[in-house]
Amino acid sequence: MGEVDSFCEHWGIDSSVNLVAPGCDKSIDQCPSGFIALYSRHFEFFNLRYPFSIFVLNILEYYRVSFGQLHPQGVSRVLHFEVLCRLLDYDPTLLMFHRFF
């Protein structure tokens, strides 16, 4: 079993997701179009889980950043904001996020 397969098994990511491990000569900023570049450590340090919520993807798109460009505390802030909104029966929105941050 390869590293990608064991990663998927450990984090419960379905095999239908097209995960690709880049070659040793590639960096995270050379991600192909249509893919999201992640370090495997994002799942450990950020408490990130797949599937990603639409809110998290909207935040990334709005600010034009990738997970690799964010500090762990920044990702945690976004995830905590989303969890708190959902606990209070609110759908998190970009406007609401802007009002708090």
What is d(CA 92, CA 62) in angstroms, rounded to the nearest whole number? 14
Cα(46)–Cα(73) distance, integer angstroms: 8
Mean residue pLDDT of the chain comes to 85
Q: How many domains does the chain have?
A: 1
Residue (of 22, 26, 21, 24) closest to 8 by Cα position: 21
Q: What contacts 78, CB < 8 A, 6 or more positions away?
A: 55, 56, 59, 97
Q: Containing domain of residue 42, as a range? A: 3-100
Q: Three-state SS for 58?
A: helix
Q: Which of 65, 40, 67 has the alpha carbon at shortest distance from 52?
A: 67
Write down the pTM of the prediction: 0.72
Predicted confidence (pLDDT) per residue in 40-87, tens digit: 777 887 778 888 899 999 999 999 988 878 877 888 889 899 999 999
